[in-house]
Amino acid sequence: MGSDLAKFAADKGVRFFLFNFTDLFGVQRAKLVPAEAVGEMQKSGAGFAGFASWLDMTPAHPDMFVMPDAASVIQLPWKPEVAWVAGDPWMDGEPVAQAPRNVLKALIARADALGLKMMSGVEPEFHLISEDGAEISDARDTQEKPCYDQSALMRRYDVISEICATMITLGWAPYQNDHEDANGQFEINWDFGDCLQTADQHAFFKFMVKAIAEKHGLRATFMPKPFSNLTGNGCHVHHSLWTPDAKSCVFADDTDEMGLSETAYHFLGGLMAHGAAMCAITNPTVNSYKRINAPATLSGATWSPSSVTYGGNNRTHMVRIPDAGRLEFRLADGAANPYLLQAVLLAAGLDGIDRKLDPGKRLDIDMYTEGHKVRGAKKLPLNMLDALREFQKNKALTGAMGPAFSKAYVKLRTREWNQFTHHLTDWERENALDC
């Protein structure tokens, strides 16, 4: 895209721009800027009060200006008079160090200094539910194993096809749509790209899916575990390192049994070393731990890991090696912040490369049925507080993600945990009234 948003507006018939940024909790914030003002606003940025979003700020902080990245601009196919553009928060002439997109860009710069570029693709799962959120939207979607159910998929054809057609219009090259393992659950896959582009697309995808679902009188949710008896919403990340020109995959080595280079194994070693601490970022909510530590669901499997292990083409591990030259990180869920998800993968992997970490032995077993036999495999945190503690004490990750970000993130997420612990649940009343 061109760098002149005013020209973009004139050429495309855009009347308004959503100047967007994503806060620490993954909430997308925006101001609606008319095309007549966009030229000046592109120079100065859109002003926000940082305290009004999930950033560690107070009302005493000065204005925060979100500078739009014109390369990210997307015209809304379902509302073409509006364009969305991702932005970077600045304050007092400096990038806001705790802002997620800035955290990712700092890690990209670090990789670039090493002559490396991370390419990635995401697989965000979501449920289509009733508007009140109480149940899945398709009363006939009741199979015990509904994955790939053709009839259930086609009953939601209007919604899924519109989302996919929108992605085709945007040039994202989507290549398949499917009904997933839970009743009412779907997934749409599209082409990979550099990790900042993927993060921007991931952020827009969540906005787009929700908006199109609303058009059809439905609600879309990426909540990790919206129904206790059904498989939760994961967000798998396929990723690899390339040369700066994106022409040569640094992870690939055809002499290796799994098709991975020494660099890839060290990157994987970083994921293994930091898996538990990464949970604070990749599985960021109280509800996240109802997915990764869940009993078997209606379909027979949770499709999510419970320990820090890797295997070949085996979906029961935290990291899968599906084919040569790439890794699939299967831990993250639908609540993961699109920017922080890419950032923490890069932070952990680069530490593995820097310290030449060994990922340990590949496990070619079904972790769901044989995992109890494995000695020394670290278990994933049982709850959000344990994950935050793992992250806080992990100096490699907190250092790579930046002290300003790490302090702010732990502070605000711990506040959220404390709010949860103050909440009285129905389960407590049902099980403790007779104490």
Tell me which residue has tokens 């790490």.
406
**In sequence order, which residues have a C-beta less than 8 Å from that of residue 234 and are 6 or more positions away?**
123, 125, 224, 291, 303, 304, 330, 332, 333, 334
- Cα distance between residue 379 and residue 361, in whole Å: 16
28-36 CB contacts, 8 Å cutoff, 24+ apart: 28/203, 28/206, 28/207, 29/53, 30/84, 31/66, 32/82, 35/6, 35/9, 35/10
pLDDT at residue number 123: 98
Q: Which CATH superfamily is domain 5-89 in?
A: Glutamine synthetase, N-terminal domain (3.10.20.70)
Whether 179 and 149 have beta carbons less than 8 Å apart is answered as yes
Mean pLDDT of 168-176: 97
pTM of the model: 0.97
Query: Is it the case that residue 2 has pLDDT exceeding 70?
Result: no
Give buried/exposed letters for 388-397 (b at 16+ CB in 10 A, else e). Answer: bbbbbebebb
Query: Would you kindly state where each structural domain of the chain is located, as residue ranges?
Result: 5-89, 106-428
- Cα distance between residue 292 and residue 137, in whole Å: 24
Whether 346 and 107 have beta carbons less than 8 Å apart is answered as yes
Binned at pLDDT 50, 70 and 90, residue 1 comes out as: very low
- Cα distance between residue 170 and residue 336, in whole Å: 23
Provide the mean pLDDT of the chain. Answer: 96
For 310, list phi and psi in degrees, rounded to 5.
-140, 155
Binned at pLDDT 50, 70 and 90, residue 301 comes out as: confident
Mean pLDDT of 398-415: 98
Q: How far apart are the first and last CA of the chain?
A: 65
Query: Is it the case that residue 163 has pLDDT exceeding 60?
Result: yes
Query: Is it the case that residue 25 has pLDDT exceeding 70?
Result: yes
Q: Give the lowest-confidence range in 179-193, 326-340, 341-355, 362-376.
A: 362-376
- Cα distance between residue 335 and residue 345, in whole Å: 16
Run of H or E including 259: none
What fold, for 106-428? Creatine Kinase; Chain A, domain 2 (3.30.590)
Tell me which residue has tokens 């921007």.
200
CB atoms within 10 A of CB 11: 10
Nearest to 146 by CA among 188, 189, 185, 187: 185
CB atoms within 10 A of CB 162: 17
pLDDT at residue number 372: 87
Three-class SS of residue 227? coil
